[in-house]
Amino acid sequence: MSEKIIIGKEEWCGLSELGLPAVKARIDSGAKTSSLHAFNITPFIEDGLKYVHFDIHPLQDNRKVIQSCRGLVVGRRDVKSSSGEKERRHVIKTPITMGGETWEIEVTLTNRDSMGYRMLFGREAMKERVLIDPDASFCLGEVSREALEKYYTREHTKKNGLSIALLASNPELYSNKRIMEAGEERGHNMRFVNIRQCYMNISASTPEVHYRGGEVLNGVDAVIPRIKPAMTFYGCSIARQFETVGSYCLNDSISIAQSRDKLRSLQLLSTHSIPMPVTGFANSPVDTTNIIEMVGGAPLVVKLLEGTQGKGVVLAETNKAAESVINAFKSLQANILVQEFIKEANGRDIRCFVIDGKVVGSIQRQAAEGDFRANLHLGGKASSVLITPEERRIAIKAAKTMGLKVAGVDLIRASSGPKVLEINSSPGLQGIEDTTGKDIAGLMIEAIEKSFRNRQKAKR
């Protein structure tokens, strides 16, 4: 064996098989296991072998550079972080290069952003090849900025980057900020387009989308519509105009419009045999008693068709109360649904975040004390949850039935099985990202990229 390499408490190393020519690592003989700060960690099987796909920001403090990697999985390991929390991680095997020498090491993948250094080099990986000088840094040399730029240049991604418009109302919302950030990280030209400031030319010869001061927005590759309920009509018209001029809409205008109509959504779900609570709808007060009977009597839930975030949802505990509530709503000419109350859910529901036919994350929401509505806006608390294969299948089918590429499917666990409550075409990102630690915004951008790759393939 060659002489030992002397290294300091931080060093640059190369993980060439992962496409990472230079990564700054903290050297810590106090830690047994080495780890890489990765995100979007997705295992898959190829030719009978287990692999994992993950993304990494190879440069510390720079979230704009992103590298997609894949590694061979050699196991799972429970690792205690410096904060004492236990976490089950994937372990991959990969060669490392340091001071001109290369050897195989095992690295665990974790998505704790608190790590700072992109890599932690632990004692197991040292394999008697290194000697540590704990007072020194970069004994093997620094890597220049120019070299890093060359390694991780964004030019190739920029050239291939798409022009993506986020069609929404409030750029300050967490979800909107994250979508902008995720697109930029992946080298796309992101643009926040305020729905209200769009107008259009709908003539047959030159359909156009115009923006404030007269700019024409016809060259946009893809649009991510995040239309708030109060803007449904105008927002969908603008999305439709973008479709007319050839932009790809992640969630098309027709699917958004139909998912906003609760009754239409439930009717669609029912034609596709997707389970939901027994639901009644009527226009005339004459039918009130009948409707109450139809859903099995009180307690029952009355829902305003136009309500959102749980605001138009009322629990009627007795038939008398149900009758009064229904008739009161009707006298205000409000359209309502009457639904069996799923008592056994105990104020809990499940939000499944579906992107491109996959459930990419799910959370359970628990209603605040004394409420039966689990909406986070009403003080509901989110926690992680493992969904059953049946729940996964129903969530995927529901999103597909509505034609939504991105959907928040709300399920409730009834004693007779999971039932769909509602499908949201602009599901919020904060609760799900905070609870699952996943880069959901990034997965939305990936869905656009995938659809463009497929289009190109089809063209070829």
136 vs 414 by CB, closer to ligand ADP: 414
| Cβ–Cβ under 8 Å, residues 249 and 397 | no
- Tell me the window of 64-72, 159-167, 299-307, 443-451 that interacts with ligand ADP (CB under 6 A): 299-307
Footprint on residues 386-425 left by ligand ADP (CB under 6 A): 410, 412, 421-422
Residue 266 touching ligand ADP (CB under 6 A): no
Tallying the residues shown for the chain, one arrives at: 460
The residue among 257, 267, 302, 294 whose CA lies nearest residue 278 is 294
207 vs 312 by CB, closer to ligand ADP: 312
Number of residues that bind ligand ADP (CB under 6 A): 25
C-alpha span between 38 and 294 (Å, rounded): 52
C-alpha span between 175 and 344 (Å, rounded): 32
Smallest gap from Cβ 226 to ligand ADP, in A, equals: 16
Residue 374 touching ligand ADP (CB under 6 A): yes
Footprint on residues 166-185 left by ligand ADP (CB under 6 A): none
Structure tokens at 195: 């729905």
For residue 150, how many other CB atoms are within 10 A of its CB?
11
Amino acid at 114: S
Smallest gap from Cβ 112 to ligand ADP, in A, equals: 31
Footprint on residues 310-339 left by ligand ADP (CB under 6 A): 310-313, 339
Smallest gap from Cβ 162 to ligand ADP, in A, equals: 32
Structure tokens at 163: 């022009």
- Tell me the window of 27-35, 212-220, 341-349, 439-447 that interacts with ligand ADP (CB under 6 A): 341-349
Residue 260 touching ligand ADP (CB under 6 A): no
58 vs 310 by CB, closer to ligand ADP: 310
- Tell me the window of 28-36, 78-86, 146-154, 305-313 that interacts with ligand ADP (CB under 6 A): 305-313
Residue 301 touching ligand ADP (CB under 6 A): yes
C-alpha span between 215 and 194 (Å, rounded): 13
Task: Give the residue, chosen from 122, 187, 225, 277, that forms a contact with ligand ADP under the rule CB under 6 A.
Answer: 277
Residue 37 touching ligand ADP (CB under 6 A): no
Task: Using CB under 6 A, list all residues that contact ligand ADP.
Answer: 277, 301, 303, 307-313, 339-342, 345, 349, 367, 372-375, 410, 412, 421-422
